[in-house]
C-alpha cells in the first residue's frame, strides 16, 4: 500500500515535486506558511494541514523543502513541529528534509527523532526548477540504509538518481560540494558570454559550439540560454545560493581548508543581492560580471 506523505514548503521547486507525487498516486498532505501558495495543489487533490505537527499525526512520511536552516529547525523542533506529538499520536515513521541545510542540523534532527521512532534522512537536491518539474533531480542522501530503501520509490519519482552518501549529514556535505562546483562554473559561464559579445561573436552560435565540448555542463545548457534571452526568473534564488555558499564556507573553516573560488563567487553574488537581485535566478550574476568588465574597458 502506498504510504501517505506530508509535505512542507510550496516554493519554486516544492510545488512541482508535490505535483509529481500526486501524479504518482500518493496521497499528499500540505503545510505552508502561506496557504495561498498551496491552493493550486489543494485544487489538484492535496490535503491542507493546520501545522507540521498535524502532518506528523496524519502521514507515515513527512518531507520538507523550505528556505533556511532556521526554517527547518522551526518546522521540526518548534512548538507545532513535526517532532511535537507524543509517540502514541505520531503516525510519521520517516522524515526527509530536502532543504539545503547544515550537516550539524541534520545530525541534530536525527537524534531528536529517536524517541518518537522516526528515521530521519537529509536529502538535498540539485536540478533547479526544471529538474523539479520534470522529475529529474539528483538527490543526495544522508542517513540509514533501511530508511533510504523504504522511501526509495519516492526518490525515484522525484529524481533521475538518488545516492546514499553516508550517515546523517552526508547528504548536506554532498550538496556543499555541488554548490561549490556550481559557484565557480557560473563565474566562468558569465565571463565567457561577456567575452563572446565583446569580441563580436554571436553568443548563441558560440553557445552551441561550447555546450558540445569540454565546457559543457548543466548550468551552461540550462542557464546560459536564459542569460541570452534576458530571462532572470528564478529556478533557484540568488539569496538561497548566497546562503548555501556561506554554509559551505563555514564548513571549510571548520575543516581548516580555504577555497578561494568559492569565496570569490560569494562576494560577486553578494553584489547581486546588494543591487536588489536577491529574488532573481542565479543567472543574474551575468549582470554583475558584465558591469565589472565594462568598468575595466572604460578605465
Give tens-digit pLDDT for 46-104: 999 999 999 999 999 999 999 999 999 999 999 999 999 998 999 999 999 999 999 99
Q: Which residues are catalytic?
A: 175
Q: In the chain, how many domains are there?
A: 2
Single residue among 104, 135, 167 that ends a domain in this structure: 167
Q: What pLDDT is attached to residue 37?
A: 87
Q: Find the DSSP H helices in 6-102.
A: 14-23, 35-43, 52-58, 69-77
Please check whether residues 280 and 227 belong to one and the same domain: yes
Quote the CA–CA distance of 151 and 133 in Å, as a whole number. 20
The domain boundary residue, chosen from 148, 167, 186:
167
User: Do 149 and 85 reside in the same domain of the chain?
Assistant: yes
Residues 157 and 228 both lie in one domain: no
pLDDT of residue 165: 98
Which among 250, 257, 204 has a CA at the least distance from the CA of 227? 204
> In the structure, what pLDDT confidence band is assigned to residue 298 with cuts at 50, 70 and 90?
low
The CATH code of the domain that includes 237 is 1.10.1040.10
One domain for residues 187 and 135: no
Based on the fold, state whether residues 214 and 78 are members of the same structural domain: no
Q: Kindly report, residue by residue over 1-42, the tens digit of the pLDDT.
A: 799 999 999 988 999 999 999 999 999 999 998 888 899 999
User: Domain residues for 43?
Assistant: 5-167
**Last residue of some domain: 167, 183, 211?**
167
In angstroms, the Cα distances linking 172 to 10, 23, 62, 225, 248 are 21, 28, 18, 29, 10
Do 93 and 211 share a domain, yes or no? no
177 and 109 within one domain: no
- Quote the percentage of the chain above a pLDDT of 70: 99
Which pLDDT tens digit goes with each residue over 256-283?
999 999 999 999 999 999 999 999 999 9
* Residue 297: pLDDT band with limits 50, 70, 90: low
123 lies in the same domain as 180: no
Same domain, 23 and 114: yes
> Residue 25 belongs to a domain with what CATH number?
3.40.50.720
What pLDDT shows up at residue 295?
A: 76
> Do 24 and 57 sit in the same domain of this protein?
yes
Amino acid at each position: 500500500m502506498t504510504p501517505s506523505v506530508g509535505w512542507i514548503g510550496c516554493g519554486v521547486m516544492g510545488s512541482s515535486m508535490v505535483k509529481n507525487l500526486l501524479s504518482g498516486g500518493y496521497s499528499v498532505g500540505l503545510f505552508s506558511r502561506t496557504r495561498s501558495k498551496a491552493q493550486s495543489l489543494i485544487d489538484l487533490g492535496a490535503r491542507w494541514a493546520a501545522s507540521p505537527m498535524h502532518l506528523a499525526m496524519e502521514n507515515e512520511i513527512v518531507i520538507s523543502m523550505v528556505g533556511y536552516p532556521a526554517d527547518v529547525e522551526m518546522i521540526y523542533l518548534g512548538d507545532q513541529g513535526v517532532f511535537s506529538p507524543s509517540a502514541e499520536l505520531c503516525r510519521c515513521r520517516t522524515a526527509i528534509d530536502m532543504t539545503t541545510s547544515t550537516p550539524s542540523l541534520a545530525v541534530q534532527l536525527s537524534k531528536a527523532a529517536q524517541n518518537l521512532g522516526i528515521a530521519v534522512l537529509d536529502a538535498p537536491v540539485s536540478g533547479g526548477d526544471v529538474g523539479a518539474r520534470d522529475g529529474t533531480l539528483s538527490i543526495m542522501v544522508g542517513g540509514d540504509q533501511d530508511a533510504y530503501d523504504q522511501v526509495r520509490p519516492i526518490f525515484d519519482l522525484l529524481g533521475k538518481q538518488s545516492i546514499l552518501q553516508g550517515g546523517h549529514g552526508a547528504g548536506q556535505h554532498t550538496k556543499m560540494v555541488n554548490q561549490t562546483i556550481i559557484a565557480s562554473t557560473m563565474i566562468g559561464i558569465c565571463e565567457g558570454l561577456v567575452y563572446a559579445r565583446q569580441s563580436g561573436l554571436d553568443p548563441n552560435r558560440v553557445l552551441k559550439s561550447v555546450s558540445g565540448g569540454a565546457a559543457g555542463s548543466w548550468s551552461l545548457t540550462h542557464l546560459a540560454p536564459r542569460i541570452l534571452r534576458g530571462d532572470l526568473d528564478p529556478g533557484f534564488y540568488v539569496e538561497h545560493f548566497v546562503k548555501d555558499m556561506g554554509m559551505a564556507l563555514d564548513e571549510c573553516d571548520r575543516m581548516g581548508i580555504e577555497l578561494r573560488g568559492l569565496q570569490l563567487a560569494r562576494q560577486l553574488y553578494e553584489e547581486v543581492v546588494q543591487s536588489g537581485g536577491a529574488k532573481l535566478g542565479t543567472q543574474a550574476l551575468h549582470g554583475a560580471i558584465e558591469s565589472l568588465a565594462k568598468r575595466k574597458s572604460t578605465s
